């Protein structure tokens, strides 16, 4: 079962790295565009264009920073061992889906099954945290019964 955790963990790492690569590429593109932009007789147009590129760079820097935080959070999560209660790094099988408690990375497909990577700080992650097999909870009017915690 630790292989399952390792594979889900790696999918989350890949998710965070993909966000980082996209942000880095967008930052490089914006930087190149700003250095290629030459000042024309319409000075205001030039300044507006540079400001828009700077704002785009700032947005992408924020995205890069958030992706880095995801990687830091993932580095703190163990991928070996079996949990008796849900905690970061746990795989939780419920009556309404399978969850990997790590980061919010959405739906992950692995070996023909779907797992939802959720952050412990998310509403569903908060409900899962500390639960064990046999526990139940309701979220958004939907009842979940925990079948197993790995």
* Of 18-27, 53-62, 66-75, minimum mean pLDDT range: 53-62
| Pairwise CA distance, residues 85 & 88, whole Å | 10
For residue 11, pLDDT beyond 70? yes
Q: How confident is the model at residue 35 (pLDDT cuts 50, 70, 90)?
A: confident
pLDDT digits (tens, 9 = 90+) for 98-111: 999 999 999 999 99
pLDDT of the residue at 62: 96
Average pLDDT (38-48) is: 58
| Pairwise CA distance, residues 83 & 16, whole Å | 25
């Amino acid at each position: 079962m630790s292989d399952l955790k390792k594979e889900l963990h790696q999918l989350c790492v890949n998710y965070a790295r993909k966000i980082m690569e996209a942000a880095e590429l967008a930052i490089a593109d914006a930087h190149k565009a700003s250095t290629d932009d030459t000042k024309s007789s319409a000075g205001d147009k030039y300044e507006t264009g540079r400001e828009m590129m700077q704002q785009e760079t700032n947005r992408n820097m924020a995205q890069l920073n958030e992706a880095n935080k995801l990687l830091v959070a993932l580095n703190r999560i163990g991928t070996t061992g079996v949990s008796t209660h849900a905690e970061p790094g746990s795989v939780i099988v419920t009556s309404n889906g399978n969850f990997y408690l790590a980061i919010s990375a959405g739906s992950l497909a692995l070996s023909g099954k779907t797992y939802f990577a959720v952050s412990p700080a998310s509403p569903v992650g908060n409900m899962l945290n500390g639960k064990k097999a046999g526990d139940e909870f309701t979220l958004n009017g939907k009842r979940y019964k925990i079948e197993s915690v790995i």
